[in-house]
Amino acid sequence: MKDGKFTIGILTSGGDAPGMNAAIRAAVRTALANDMNVVGVLHGYDGLINGEFKALGARDVGGILQRGGTILQTSRCKRFPESSGQREAIRKMNEADMDALIVIGGEGSLTGAQALTQKGIKTIGIPASIDNDIWGTNIAIGTDTAMNTIMDAVDKLRDTASSHQRAFLIETMGRNSGYLAMMAGIICGAEIVLIPEKPADQQEIAAAVEDAYKRGKTHAIIINAEGSDIRTTELAAMIDEMDLGFKTRMTILGHIQRGGSPTAYDRLLASRMGVKAVEALMDGVHGVMTGLKGRGVDYVPLADVINNKRKVNMEYYRMVKVLAR
């Protein structure tokens, strides 16, 4: 756009998360309110390299606040981690007179944002991932909605589990993080949770299932994170074979956890972060992520975000066991 106005590019990258659209809407409307242009980049970093750009006006982001997914679409781009991909992307940004870029996504996407920062691009990250594995923010956009989806599913599964006195194995997402499984353990009252951060102890699992049966529980709920060291199918076979009282059934929740209308919490968080991302650029701040700290949204250096690993709080893991009595 050659009208002399400050032009912000915006993209969503990696796994989609409910609330991404709310963040896009907030950023676009804040920018427009401050006399800036916004260009939507389609298909994440792939679209940045290919120059897939689309000017965004206020009406283009109408009716999307409540929609899951991302109107800009997303990708897991193989070319962007390479310098040649980044150079090409910067060339396309210059051709489009883009002055800055807002990247909405998870750890990998924010790593891409930091690479651009190091190459002199004014970049702002907004954390969005259902896994909640991003350092520097209490919670990422999409996590709350995913937890509510899991809660709804597990509540339903418990009804049928109790009716048949079964052990139900439920697999949540979380390739590298046990956050969703662990929190689901608390909010859904699971007997056992299995997470990538803690090696599974088969004897301990068997003892807990048998104990639940002996104590007269009508069901046993076992929540297994996708990335734990035991596959849900193997676990079900093991419990069946050991004849611990309960017969087993299993449900893999899968990508249903990534979809759906964002919760009130996610809409609010995404809106606040979208506004803050544009305000950062107006204040001359860049190379940062918007992070929720206490009650406020702060700027967290992207370098710190990608150089630190967020760990799950094992207090919650212990809490699941205490509350399962």
Annotated catalytic residues are: 131
Structure tokens at 79: 């070319």
Question: For residue 153, which of 138, 171, 130 has the smallest C-alpha distance?
Answer: 171
109 interacts with ligand F6P by CB under 6 A: no
- Judged by CB under 6 A, which stretch of 22-30, 126-134, 159-167, 244-252 contacts ligand F6P? 126-134
226 interacts with ligand F6P by CB under 6 A: yes
Q: Which of residues 240-259 bind ligand F6P (CB under 6 A)?
A: 258
Are 146 and 173 in contact, with CB atoms under 8 Å apart?
yes
| Residue in 18, 174, 178, 262 binding ligand F6P, rule: CB under 6 A | 174
What is the CB neighbour count within 10 angstroms for residue 254? Answer: 11
| Residue in 49, 130, 212, 223 binding ligand F6P, rule: CB under 6 A | 130
CB of 68 to ligand F6P, least distance (A): 13
**Residue listed under structure tokens 């896994």:** 131
Strands 122-127 and 166-172 come out as unpaired
CB of 17 to ligand F6P, least distance (A): 7
| Residue in 140, 157, 170, 173 binding ligand F6P, rule: CB under 6 A | 173
CB of 275 to ligand F6P, least distance (A): 24
278 interacts with ligand F6P by CB under 6 A: no
The DSSP line for 66-103 is T--S-TT-----SSTTSHHHHHHHHHHHHHTT--EEEE
131 interacts with ligand F6P by CB under 6 A: yes
What is the CB neighbour count within 10 angstroms for residue 172? Answer: 34
Burial (CB < 10 A; 0-12, 13-18, 19+), residue 88, is: middle
Decide whether 217 or 258 has the Cβ nearer to ligand F6P: 258
Interface positions with ligand F6P (CB under 6 A): 15, 129-131, 173-175, 226, 258
